[in-house]
């Protein structure tokens, strides 16, 4: 079991019968995950021009007992390959999230991944109140992430395979 300081990561992947370029358009739409996630509610760009290295956006999140906003900064932007961002502080993020795309026989493989910590977050606040349960708290949060990430990549797959609207 992992501790928060270990910066645990999680990823989910899906093969999509669509061209990489079509899927890239979907993963760089910062509101696309909100269509499928139970937690992420949407976002808006703070900087003109949309996705690109250094661009910032505000994300809106909600769980049963809390609502919060985060400022995210794009820290990894390789067109048609990787789109990633840090949550809150780029030097000490609460989390880092990214999408990787790679060509596959069926079209492409989409991987969504995240790394917890090492910076301040709701998770670390909860751990500080219950240090004896740290590994359990981290494991439970990663499983929540896995559920939302799986819903997101499967939703992107459905949209991409349905073709242009």
Residue ranges of domains in the chain, CATH in brackets:
4-162 (3.30.530.20)
Three-class HEC string of the chain: CCCHHHCCEEEEEEEECCCHHHHHHHHCCCCHHHHCCCCEEEEEECCCCCCCCCCEEEEEEEECCEEEEEEEEEEEEECCCEEEEEECCCCCCCEEEEEEEEEECCEEEEEEEEEECCCCCHHHHHHHHCHHHHHHHHHHHHHHHHHHHHHHHHHHHHHHHHCCC
Could you read off the pLDDT of 27-80 as tens digits, one per residue? 999 999 999 999 999 999 998 888 999 999 999 999 988 899 999 999 999 999
| pLDDT above 70 as % of the chain | 99
What pLDDT score does 38 carry?
Answer: 94
Confidence of residue 165 (pLDDT cuts 50, 70, 90): low
Q: Flag whether pLDDT at 7 surpasses 80.
A: yes
Could you read off the pLDDT of 98-117 as tens digits, one per residue? 999 999 998 999 999 999 99
Q: Flag whether pLDDT at 164 surpasses 90.
A: no
């Amino acid at each position: 079991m992992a501790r928060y300081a270990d910066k645990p990561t999680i990823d989910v992947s899906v093969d999509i019968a669509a061209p990489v370029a079509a899927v890239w358009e979907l993963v760089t739409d910062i509101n696309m995950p909100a269509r499928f996630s139970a937690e992420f509610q949407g976002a808006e760009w703070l900087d003109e021009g949309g996705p690109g290295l250094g661009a910032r956006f505000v994300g809106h999140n909600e769980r049963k007992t809390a609502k919060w906003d985060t400022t995210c900064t794009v820290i990894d932007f390789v067109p048609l390959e990787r789109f990633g961002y840090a949550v809150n502080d780029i030097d000490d993020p609460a989390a880092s999230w990214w999408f990787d795309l790679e060509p596959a026989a069926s079209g492409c493989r989409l991987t969504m991944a995240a790394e917890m910590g090492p910076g301040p977050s709701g998770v670390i606040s909860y751990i500080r109140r219950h240090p004896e349960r740290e590994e359990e708290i981290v494991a439970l949060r990663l499983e929540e992430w896995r559920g939302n990430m799986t819903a997101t990549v499967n939703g992107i797959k459905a949209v991409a395979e349905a073709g242009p609207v």
